[in-house]
Each structure stands twice: as structure tokens, then as C-alpha cells.
């Protein structure tokens, strides 16, 4: 599935949907959950604790990318939120 700018969701081939990494939720839903879980922390603080770039955190929080599994685990631990609540 792909979320269009007007909010509609369209279906894409299974091959294309696997590229996005997240199978159950749209990238934008995950992005919203990540922003909420971050709370008052800055993107810079989170990036430094995870050892990744601020731009990477920004891409996660704008739905441009979905974190790899290892980063999902780190985000979950840092935020004190189960992985399932953030990504599934």
C-alpha cells in the first residue's frame, strides 16, 4: 500500500510493499508514533544515544524511512515503549 498526499491509500504489488520494511502500518503512522514516543527529547539527543544521524531520525519521523530491526529495538528501549506499539 502507498499513502498519497491526499490521505488515500492505494495498493501496490507485494514486491513493492516489501521494500518499505513495515508490513502492518503505513510509514506515516509509524512516524507519528515515533514523534509521540520521543516526547520532549530532541532529535539530536535521540540520534546521539542511538549513534545515528539527526537526518536519519528526521526521515523516520516524517515517514520517509522505516528503521531497521536493530534500530527499532534501540528506539523501543530508549523510549520505554514495546516495539509492537511503535511499529506493528
Residues 28-69: tens digit of each pLDDT: 999 999 999 999 999 999 999 999 999 999 999 999 999 999
Domain that holds residue 63: 23-87
Q: Which pLDDT belongs to residue 42?
A: 97
Cβ neighbors of 62 (< 8 A, separation 6 or more) are 31
* CATH number of domain containing 51: 1.10.260.40
Q: Please check whether residue 74 lies inside any domain of the structure.
A: yes
Rounded to 10 degrees, the C-alpha dihedral 60/65/67/69 comes to 160
Q: Which pLDDT belongs to residue 21?
A: 46
Instruction: Kindly report the pTM of this predicted structure.
Output: 0.72
Amino acid at each position: 500500500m502507498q499513502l498519497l498526499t491526499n490521505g488515500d491509500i492505494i495498493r501496490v504489488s507485494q514486491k513493492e510493499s516489501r521494500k518499505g520494511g513495515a508490513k502492518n502500518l503505513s510509514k506515516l503512522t509509524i512516524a507519528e508514533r515515533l514523534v509521540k514516543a520521543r516526547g520532549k527529547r530532541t532529535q539530536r539527543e535521540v540520534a546521539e544515544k542511538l549513534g545515528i544521524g539527526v537526518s536519519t531520525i528526521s526521515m523516520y519521523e516524517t515517514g520517509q524511512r522505516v528503521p531497521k530491526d536493530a534500530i527499532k529495538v534501540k528506539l523501543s528501549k530508549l523510549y520505554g515503549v514495546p516495539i509492537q506499539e511503535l511499529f506493528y
